[in-house]
Structure 1
Amino acid sequence: MTTIPTITLHDGTAMPQLGFGVFQVPDEGAQASVATALEAGYRSIDTAAIYGNEAGVGRAIAESGLDRDDVFVTTKLWLDGLSREGVRPALEASLERLGLERVDLYLIHWPAPATDAYLAAWEGMEEIRELGLARSIGVSNFLPEHLDRVAALGGSVPTVNQIELHPALRAADIEAANRARGIATEAWSPLGQGSVLGEPAIAAVAAAHGVTPAQVVLRWHLQQGRIVIPKSVTASRIRENLDLFGFELTADELAAIDGLDRDGRTGPHPAEFNG
């Protein structure tokens, strides 16, 4: 069984650095994919209320036979719960669908900055952590200015900021802002929805190591200290994406992949998305 390294969040929680995502996977498909992922050795599952597949994720975890403490579960607060009072009922609804008493990480899914409601929601996030409904709390798609405003509240700082990050969208400014505050960076769409896999620079590195382009990009993330959550519904690729620990990229290879940075965004811009 593959031993996956962990990242210790600033609140002391240990989070697997490599997890499994289920974005755009229907509920039944999520159950099957998560079951395959858990059998392969993944121990971190990332879902969200808006994905509509929390129940399938929960069934897969329940049927895996694994101890609850051995599976790190992340879900996210959608925009309809973006208020101080909205956080707890939203999380409780997610917990009911997941069949769990708590999650390991709960994230505000988007800042939706037009209303600033994320600031009140952060206070609600702190409350559900104190209640033990989430071990750790964090954010997703927050830009540096959003992090600054959360910090200005004077309470806790998010443990994680999950952002779109891949070779075609390096997001170095956000990663630097995260690092300055002790916030772990987690990459969603870590392969750029496949858009970067045909890049000659990545193909050359893959050929040099006898691995696939996807494995090269995921290894690039891991060596630069990010948490990563690749998604697949294909059993062979689910296993392939876990097989990242038998090779290491050189400094020159990392730099060559860094050099692919451009405005290759695949999702909404966090400054503009308000639901």
Structure 2
Amino acid sequence: MEFSGQVPRRRLGERGPLVPVFGLGSWNTWDRMETDDAVALIRYAVDRGVNLFDVAHYNFGPHAENAVTDIIFGKAVVEAGVAREDYLLCGKLWLWEYPKSSFAEQIETSLSRIGTDRADSVVVGDFFGELDIRAVVTDVAELVRAGRFETWGVNNWSADDLWLARDFAVAEGMEPPSFAQLKYSLARRSVPDGEPYGRLFTEGGLGLQASDVFEGGILAGKLNPQRKIGADPGGIRDRIRESFPEVQRVAESFGATPAQLAIAFTLTHPAAANVLFGASSRQQLDDNLGALDLLERHGDELRSAVEGLWIDRDVVSPDASWGTDAPAKA
């Protein structure tokens, strides 16, 4: 399937900005491309309306690997002739070493590596263990007031902790989180589709930003990825790999590719504002854009068609953070 024209936009939660339904992620993306290819891809993506880039400084906790993907992106976007006002930047604030590593220090380092003085939004992420949530909200709000970014979201937070953050921010007149960046795919649905986060989407006004939709490429047909990929809550990755023939069968029944099926499914979620993925070529991006044609033609049929591919059901608790391999409640 093919899609022509500009990529549509949705609002990223009730308080968030309008964003393209596709965003390009940075982890292990720009540093595995030739510079000229990265420049061409960025220029083409922006021209098609895919102008949200999720770019972070990966040098904290398990990501302490001195990656330079953010530096490469910053140089490539300039060479592509894309002005700062013509793209949306979503950054990250890491909790691994917080508060020793302050958010103010983190955002200064991250933005300077990219070559800009502001982001549009940030994701406060990787929340494991104890955390002073009120202090986090207060520190984030100070950066909003300082003009470093306008909106923020979270990843790897439980629904209860996110409610606390939202309610505290509203009560204190601070900027509350407007979205949750969650693993969401054909195989992993327990948290985004569960009741605890469901209330945040319907009653709390949060938007959903879907990530890890390809499971590191497995759901797109790259069954044994050689690069570093995301965590495996519930230990289900081998089962996901074994499910690929069914993914392929369902995709072919709609005249689509597995990648198009994986993306289109995530956009059927009522709260989904956009989906993040890493594309390393114009051809790959074009194929992914075809998910919009699949969504338009068969959106009402997709969820029932892939019901049997929900692998983390009864494995990951819907009220747990993504970092917790908690058994589902009876």
Q: Same fold (TM over 0.5)?
A: yes
Q: 2:56 aligns with which of 48, 69, 88?
A: 48
Percent of residue pairs identical: 21
Q: Would you say the 8 A contact 1:77–1:108 is kept in 2?
A: yes
Q: Would you say the 8 A contact 2:250–2:306 is kept in 1?
A: no
Q: Would you say the 8 A contact 1:73–1:104 is kept in 2?
A: yes
Please tell me the residue identity of whatever aligns with 2:304.
Answer: A
Which stretches of structure 1, 4 residues or more, deviate above 4 A after TM superposition? Answer: 30-34
Q: Which sits farther off after the overlay, 157-166 or 119-128?
A: 119-128
Q: 1:158 aligns with which of 167, 177, 193?
A: 177
Please tell me the residue identity of whatever aligns with 1:98.
Answer: I
Cα deviation for residue 159 of structure 1 reads 1.2
1-structure distance, mates of 2:200, 2:246: 28
Cα deviation for residue 254 of structure 1 reads 2.0
Q: Would you say the 8 A contact 1:84–1:123 is kept in 2?
A: no
2-structure distance, mates of 1:32, 1:263: 39
Q: Deviations over 1:73-126 (max 9, x none)?
A: 1110123553398111210111100111211111112222x2214442221111
Q: Deviations over 1:149-207 (max 9, x none)?
A: 21242344211110111111112126414313111111111122233445454323422
Q: 1:213 aligns with which of 258, 269, 273?
A: 258
Q: Would you say the 8 A contact 1:83–1:120 is kept in 2?
A: no
Q: Would you say the 8 A contact 1:111–1:146 is kept in 2?
A: no
Superposed CA RMSD? 2.9
Mapping 1:29-48, distance limit 5 Å: 29=33, 34-41=38-45, 42-48=50-56
User: Could you say which residue in structure 1 is the equivalent of 2:309?
Assistant: 260
Mapping 1:26-105, distance limit 5 Å: 27=31, 29=33, 34-41=38-45, 42-50=50-58, 52=67, 53-80=69-96, 82-83=98-99, 86-105=102-121
Change in 2 beyond 3 A, CA 1:263/1:244: closer
The structure whose RCO (Cα within 8 Å, separation 6+) is larger is 2
Change in 2 beyond 3 A, CA 1:219/1:27: same
Please tell me the residue identity of whatever aligns with 1:244.
Answer: A
1-structure distance, mates of 2:145, 2:308: 43
Work out whether 1:185 is the aligned partner of 2:234: no
Cα deviation for residue 34 of structure 1 reads 4.4
Structure 2, unpaired ranges of 5+: 221-242, 316-320, 326-330
SS in 2 for 1:134: coil
Change in 2 beyond 3 A, CA 1:208/1:103: same
Q: Which sits farther off after the overlay, 169-178 or 78-87?
A: 78-87
Q: Would you say the 8 A contact 1:20–1:37 is kept in 2?
A: no
2-structure distance, mates of 1:30, 1:258: 39
SS in 2 for 1:20: strand
Change in 2 beyond 3 A, CA 1:234/1:103: same
Aligned residues: 271
1-structure distance, mates of 2:132, 2:37: 34
Mapping 1:115-194, distance limit 5 Å: 115-153=130-168, 154=171, 155-170=174-189, 171=191, 172-173=193-194, 175-179=197-201, 180-194=203-217
User: Could you say which residue in structure 2 is the equivalent of 1:3?
Assistant: 6
Change in 2 beyond 3 A, CA 1:135/1:30: farther
Please tell me the residue identity of whatever aligns with 1:176.
Answer: G
2-structure distance, mates of 1:216, 1:237: 14
2-structure distance, mates of 1:137, 1:131: 14
SS in 1 for 2:99: coil
1-structure distance, mates of 2:40, 2:130: 40
Q: Would you say the 8 A contact 1:220–1:249 is kept in 2?
A: no
Larger Rg: 2
Q: Would you say the 8 A contact 1:165–1:192 is kept in 2?
A: no
SS in 1 for 2:150: strand
User: Could you say which residue in structure 1 is the equivalent of 2:226?
Assistant: none
Q: What is the TM-score when the length of structure 2 is the normalising length?
A: 0.72
Q: What is the TM-score when the length of structure 1 is the normalising length?
A: 0.86
Structure 1, unpaired ranges of 5+: none
